[in-house]
Structure 1
Amino acid sequence: MPAELQYVDWKLIYIDKQISYKTWKQGKGNFTHHNLSNIIKVNRTELHETPYAITQKISKKGNVEYNFYDAKGNQYLQVADSDHGHKSEANYGLHGEHAHWYDKRTEAGIPIHGKAGEIPSFIREKMGDKL
């Protein structure tokens, strides 16, 4: 196991097999470029945004989704502060908070939203109370 992984990350990669170590490492590298004090509030999530942007969408029920974009402005990760009322997402975090990686693409190049999983440790540490 790579020394930089915490248990939650190791489980996400090697047990749950939701993402590859390469994708996790790219996500961690991308995340270092984000400015958490400059989150853009949006009404609709887009798959493309300004490079290294973070957007925040608040649902009608008050749930919050954070969307993270890479150097090319492609969404690579979505983090939600609740389970949205979905039983499959209720098992993550303390309140169903979870993440969806966009590490696969269609033939047309459109990112595909992966299954819900635990929030990576590097994000949970930096976002803290926002989650």
Structure 2
Amino acid sequence: MPVLRVIAAAVVRVVLLTVFYLVYVEAISRSDSTDALGAGLLFFLIVVVVALAWATWDGARRGFVAAIVVWLLTGAGVGATVTVAYVISTETAGAFIDELRDGWLFFALLVFVPALPGAGVGGLIHRARRRTPTA
């Protein structure tokens, strides 16, 4: 498990998920919809499905441990970047530390919790591929 590859993989995932968040928020703010709850739930669903599927793919390619490390770093990074973007966009500078702490944990868990079973399934696929048939 090369450390630089794991970090690079996590950075790519953080950047893509953060860009998705920014694009999604911008699209919602430009829409005529007033259904903030539905938009938020749709965002959560998309992030959960993406984390689950991508972690499964990572687990199948890298193995369970490497996939978990990648997604643990990804969860921490997405938690920080999305929360900072939210605090900047809402201009709640007075409560910056509270928002950062609470938002970071929420978004980190939103990414990492569905990635955990995905990495597990992917790790099982990786292990099954590595087995050599006995003849």
Larger RCO of the pair (alpha carbons < 8 Å, separation 6+): 2
Which of the two has greater strand per residue?
Answer: 1
Which of the two has greater helix per residue?
Answer: 2
Flag whether TM exceeds 0.5 (same fold).
no
Larger Rg: 2
- Give the TM-score normalised by structure 1: 0.30
- Give the TM-score normalised by structure 2: 0.29
